[in-house]
Amino acid sequence: SEKMHEKVRANFVEFDGVFLPEEYEKIAADVDAFEVHDSDVWVCSFQKSGTTWTQEMVWGICHELNFETAKAPINERFPFLEFSGIITTARVAMRDNNTSVPSWVLNSVEFCENLPSPRYIKCHLPFNLLPRQIRTGEKKPKIVYVSRNPKDVCISFYHHSKLLEGYCGNFEEFCELFLGDYVFYAPYWNHVNGYWDRSNMENLLLLRFEDMKMDLSSVIRRTAKFLGKNMSSDEVKLLADHLSFAKMKNNTSVNKKTTIEYINNMKVFGEQRSEGEFIRNGNVGQWKEAMSERMVNRFDEWIAKYSKH
Ligand code: A3P
């Protein structure tokens, strides 16, 4: 495990206490200086907390349920701000194997800057690394932040790392990395607390994955109200149906199937194949089956120590 920590650490740097890949250095200043618009809608989260689900919900609400507009790949209509700065093995290979790599991969910050307004932007940065204009309150885009039980985040992140980042350690080792803040965007609690501490910011909406699972319609209504949109109960129902796990799993605009195929075709991780799906399980409380009692106790201690809200 010490070895794993060292190996992971070798290609990472800290920015304002946040664990990020070295590549981030190239875009850090551009992210900081990013010109924010008051009309922007941002979806922010710690990875694996239900980002894609939230993005698709926000998109549907803001486009009056015009699902035609939702057929374009989500990375193009709702791009990932700092994507080019967190280029890791998979993305380096995409860049090196394909001469026509889209600019949302290679220069995601510029791509976001040039989107037509209103812009929809996904971002995994903690509040302390958001563009300066947001941090200072100079610009007030609508920000939807989604969080999830960290035990389930850890499990989802483990599968994500194997599927899209070429991670080849086991689950126990991954839990150690997670608890030790050796994963992208860690520390986890700096992330969650950084947004939840600002719960009275009028342009910030805080959502929970578990609430979306329990009562998606009421989360849709709450989000629509926040975004200044009126929805009839039929519309809410229609959107909830579009956002169901089964529909999202088969929706090629959001399920990353083509990326996974690409990784396997290009042998991005050598002989290690990417097995599985991005929209994978989606359940609440997966840790009850996937985590050892010892690990659950470790998590509980860590949660008791750092969680504030
Ligand atoms: P699991 O890996 O636990 O299945 P993110 O978009 O932040 O990367 O989060 C991905 C997680 O959200 C995955 O969790 C994925 O299955 C889950 N997810 C995506 N769409 C969902 C939906 N419609 N219903 C429930 N969970 C969903």
The interface pTM score, or ipTM, of the predicted complex is: 0.99
The reported pLDDT for the residue numbered 138 is 98
Protein residues whose CB sits closer than 6 Å to any atom of ligand 1: 45, 47-53, 152, 156, 159, 243-245, 248, 279-282
Catalytic residue numbers? Answer: 124
53, 61 Cβ separation under 8 angstroms: no
Pick the residue whose CA is nearest to atom 8 on ligand 1. 48
The reported pLDDT for the residue numbered 249 is 96
* Closest residue by Cα to residue 58 from 225, 223, 250: 223
What pTM was computed for the model? 0.96
Distance 52 CA to ligand 1 centre (A): 7
Distance, first Cα to last Cα, the chain: 31
* Closest residue by Cα to residue 235 from 248, 223, 221: 221
Pick the residue whose CA is nearest to atom 24 on ligand 1. 245
Distance 186 CA to ligand 1 centre (A): 19
Give pLDDT < 70 ranges for the chain: 1-10, 98-99
Distance 3 CA to ligand 1 centre (A): 30
Distance 245 CA to ligand 1 centre (A): 8
Tens digits of residue pLDDT in 148-199: 999 999 999 999 999 988 888 999 999 999 999 999 999 999 999 999 999 9
Q: Which atom of ligand 1 is nearest to the CA of 152?
A: 3
